[in-house]
Amino acid sequence: MPTGSSKCNLEFQETSTQRCFTAGGFRVTCTHHLKSLLTMRSALSLLAVVGIIALTGCAGPENKFGRGINNMTEIVRAGDMNRSVEQTMLWDGPSQLPTGIARGFTRTVTRTGIGIYEVITFPLPPYGPLLTPKSRLYPDPSMRTRKYPWGGLELPEHPVFPDSYQPGYPAGPLFETDESMGFSGGDIAPSFPGSKFRIH
């Protein structure tokens, strides 16, 4: 156990490119830039996040994000609008076109809003779909609600299309594995509303 007192003179100098410590006549220079230090911290943080995702799995967030993108683009696809008009006119009669448009508008706006919510909150639970029917709605969810006359709107988990047109795979080399044999096909622009062009 030392009985005397010792003094340590420590001086610190910092410039824009280096850090220097001087202690007891020895000068120690640190040449690590502040930017490289921050880059290292960012890289370690990213590595930690990737490690956590790899250990915990990410099927729930992936499904929620993909479903959210599908639902968010409903306002462009207009599948709910077309199906609501079609089913309303088939079941309630051709004079009910305005009712079908109103039902389609409600479902389109609701599905788009759910999609925006799911994209924003995809890393957070719950990961299941919202407003999905627990049992069958007769004759079709595109024209009926669970509670009449207000509330109880339920939407299928996946995007809907009218029965008169169900889109298939898009035409392109990703899905045309047999194009070198001279036959192949698919839909041309299936995401555009009303597009019925198909290569057979």
Confidence of residue 43 (pLDDT cuts 50, 70, 90): confident
DSSP string over 145-193: -SSSSS------SS----TT----PBSSTTT-TTGGGT---EESSTTST
Across 2-11, 41-50, 114-123, 144-153, the highest mean pLDDT is recorded for 114-123
* 123 or 4, greater pLDDT: 123
Per-residue model confidence as pLDDT tens digits over 155-170: 998 889 888 888 777 7
| Rounded Cα distance, 51 and 44, in Å | 10
Across 14-23, 49-58, 77-86, the highest mean pLDDT is recorded for 77-86
What integer pLDDT is reported at residue 2 of this predicted model?
47
pLDDT of 105 over the 90 cut? yes
Per-residue model confidence as pLDDT tens digits over 60-87: 888 999 999 999 999 998 999 999 999 9
